[in-house]
Structure 1
Amino acid sequence: MEKKKEINIIIADDHQIVIDGLKSLLVQHSHIKIIGEASNGLEAIDLIEKNNIDIAVLDISMPEMDGVEATKIIKEKHPGVQILILTMHDGSEFIHELVEIGANGYILKNRGKEEFVEALETIAKGQEYLKGKVLNILVDAVRKPKQKAVQFTKREKDVLRLIIDEHTTAQISAKLNIAHSTVETHRRNLIEKTGVKSSLGLVRYAIENGHM
């Protein structure tokens, strides 16, 4: 059996019972290492600055600094750290804002262990994670008035389609027979043209503007 890639994570939640529950869930997944625990966004950022972290698992409602503000700062200062939002908040305003500022995944606390592990492994591969009710909330945005149409080149459309289909940079490069750097250039151009901040934002833009 192929050895799974080790994933270093931190968990930030102001309820210790939640952190303890997540630790219990991950006992059978030795490739996922909990490097540290935090009770607010400030502590989470401190842990990231002192350790080699792949993914920060953040709740939204926390004292001193909430998950939204923490996500903004982490994405600005530590863009290589991926963000998984784990929360009970299923309001569209939270989901939309966190997608816009660069969260890589959003999962509700009432989901099962398998989905939590799947989310971590998906994000660790450089992909985005949106499923179930969270994805449905974004799809509902299709009913809203569309933004002014943005013009994409044919190649940008190809790259956007593959991003929507959850392909990594390496997979897009292979499928389109172009260099990794060219894929990243197209991705940056798409982000600049649409005014979003991440690949997850591109998915939301595509949903809202009929590119699915």
Structure 2
Amino acid sequence: MRIHSYNKRETIPVNLRIILADDHPFVILGIRAALEMHAGVTVVDEATNPFSLIERLRSTPCDVLVTDLAMPEHSLAIDDGLNLVRRIRTGWPQLRVVVMTTLANAAILRAIVSDGAVSMVGKAESMDELWQAILAARHGETYLGRSIIEALAQPQDPECEQPPAPRLTGKQAAVVRLLVSGQSISDIAAVLGCDRRTVTRQKREAMAKLGVTNDPGLFSYVRAYGILNFESHI
């Protein structure tokens, strides 16, 4: 398997068709907006669970699929994301796939990236990292994000797969809880009775503590570990 890296000056052919799949519509909205800033890119369809993803693939031609690895509507089992990827690769062997994940299980990651048509990036990584993976996929190459490479390089201890609970303040936890429930910054400010700038600051500080850099990473982290597991204090 060849791992390829593309620089920002490279361009892609026009009419690059992408299908996005994530169980959080807000995440899809953000990724769509970021990708469609690139000339020639069109998000031709979206899916929020594995069933709808398979239906979209059957009905909508695309060049690259960008999909979350674990969507709870399918199952909460950690290896079901691997089964979904295998099903897609069997049904659409010519399709290039970019997987987004917070998973750190080296065995499952290795099983996925062993397929030369599948690239993978961490959900906490930047949109530029995702774009590089899409560029590589479009050119028939495989791309692994930095967090994926680091996870593959380290031996995994099953007892240490869940990170220590971050210490969020009560307000930070409240902001994150409301955000992942689908409320906007303005909505959260109204609920908490504070200024939008305060909500934005609390969100930024919470993300820093959780070690994520964007909304997809935040949603994925909360889905994986649960906001109730955060050790909150005022």
Normalising TM by the smaller chain, what interval?
0.5 to 0.7
> Which of these residues, 64, 68, 77, is aligned with residue 74 of structure 2?
64
> Which of these residues, 72, 75, 83, is aligned with residue 97 of structure 2?
83
For the Cα contact (< 8 Å) 1:57–1:86, is it kept in 2?
A: yes
**Matches for 1:38-49 after TM superposition, within 5 Å:** 38-49=47-58
Aligned position for 1:4 = 12
For the Cα contact (< 8 Å) 2:117–2:137, is it kept in 1?
A: no
Output the amino acid matched with 1:39: T
User: Quick one: structure 1 residues 29 and 59, their matched pair in 2 at CA, closer, same or farther if it must change by over 3 Å?
Assistant: same
Aligned position for 2:33 = 24
- Corresponding residue SS for 2:70: coil
Report Cα offsets for 1:149-171 as digits up to 9, x if no partner. Answer: xxxxxxxxxxxxxxxxxxxxxxx
Pair 1:135-2:149 in alignment: yes
Greater alpha carbon shift after TM alignment, 93-102 vs 129-138: 93-102
TM-score, normalising length from structure 2?
0.55
- Corresponding residue SS for 1:133: helix
Greater alpha carbon shift after TM alignment, 60-69 vs 71-80: 60-69
C-alpha deviation, 1:3, in angstroms: 6.5
- Corresponding residue SS for 1:8: strand
C-alpha deviation, 1:109, in angstroms: 1.2
Q: In 2, distance between residues paired with 1:3 and 1:123?
A: 13
Q: In 1, distance between residues paired with 2:99 and 2:10?
A: 28
> Which of these residues, 108, 112, 115, is aligned with residue 94 of structure 1?
108
**Matches for 1:1-212 after TM superposition, within 5 Å:** 4-5=12-13, 6-62=15-71, 63-64=73-74, 66-100=80-114, 104-140=118-154
Point out 4+ residue stretches in structure 1 off by more than 4 angstroms.
none
Greater relative contact order (Cα < 8 A, sep 6+): 2
User: Quick one: structure 1 residues 17 and 120, their matched pair in 2 at CA, closer, same or farther if it must change by over 3 Å?
Assistant: same
- Corresponding residue SS for 1:89: coil
Aligned residues: 141
Greater alpha carbon shift after TM alignment, 91-100 vs 112-121: 91-100
TM-score, normalising length from structure 1?
0.60
For the Cα contact (< 8 Å) 2:36–2:43, is it kept in 1?
A: no
Larger-gyration structure (1/2): 2
Percent identity between matched residues is 25
Which segments of 5 or more consecutive residues in structure 2 lack a partner in the other structure? 1-8, 156-234
* Alignment RMSD (CA, Å): 2.2
User: Quick one: structure 1 residues 72 and 109, their matched pair in 2 at CA, closer, same or farther if it must change by over 3 Å?
Assistant: same
For the Cα contact (< 8 Å) 1:42–1:70, is it kept in 2?
A: no
User: Quick one: structure 1 residues 91 and 52, their matched pair in 2 at CA, closer, same or farther if it must change by over 3 Å?
Assistant: same
- Corresponding residue SS for 1:33: strand
For the Cα contact (< 8 Å) 1:9–1:53, is it kept in 2?
A: yes
Report Cα offsets for 1:87-130 as digits up to 9, x if no partner. Answer: 22232133122123565111011111211111101111000011
